[in-house]
Amino acid sequence: MEQLIIALGWLGVFAPVALGAVGSAIGCSVAGQAACGAMLDVESGYGKFVGLSAMPSSQVIYGIVIMFTLSGLGVTEATAPGLFGIGLLTGVALMYSATYQGQAVAAAINASKNKPEVFGLSIAPAAIVEGFAVFAFVFALVMGQAIGA
């Protein structure tokens, strides 16, 4: 039983980076497809579409930082349940935020290809979604430190 508890603790340590990577891949793919489509319709400004399509990649970076922070606490029978809960729930939050951020970015690309003057304003929804990823990131760091205390 102790080995299962320890294994679940390690799963919690690695979940933020794994689930964050899944969400980032989906989000960047959706946004990248929109960027490719937009490039067929416009004569210039390709770089802003390609750059914007990378926006959902930040969630995997948050996941990496969380993984290193949680792994530094040490996975023991006492810490494993907390690590599992924090890591899994944060990973799910990162995955969903990256996926939906990709959709928001795709919408921004589609809007700004037809009306370039709304580009700056159109990325606001994607930035708001990024804020929720930051909330999950901070939650994981603060709660992780509580486990280590």
Residue 7 falls in which region: left (phi positive, over 0), alpha (psi -120 to 50) or beta? alpha
Q: What is the mean pLDDT of residues 57-79?
A: 95
The stretch 68-90 carries a mean pLDDT of 94
pLDDT tens sequence across 1-54: 899 999 999 999 999 999 999 999 999 999 999 999 888 877 777 778 889 999
Contact criterion met (CB below 8 Å) for 80 and 12: yes
Q: Say which residues have a Cβ less than 8 Å from residue 57's Cβ, sequence separation at least 6.
A: 24, 27, 28, 98
Residues ≥6 apart with Cβ < 8 Å to 129: 97, 100, 101, 104
Q: What is the pLDDT of residue 129?
A: 96
Sign of CA dihedral 97, 98, 101, 107: negative
* 64 contacts: CB under 8 Å, gap ≥ 6: 16, 17, 20
Task: Tell me the whole-structure pTM to 2 decimals.
Answer: 0.92
Angstrom distance (rounded) from CA 55 to CA 136: 17
Domains present along the chain, CATH in parentheses: 2-148 (1.20.120.610)
The answer, yes or no, to whether residue 148 has pLDDT greater than 70, is: no
What confidence score (pLDDT) does residue 1 get? 81
Kindly tell me if the per-residue pLDDT of 149 is higher than 70. no
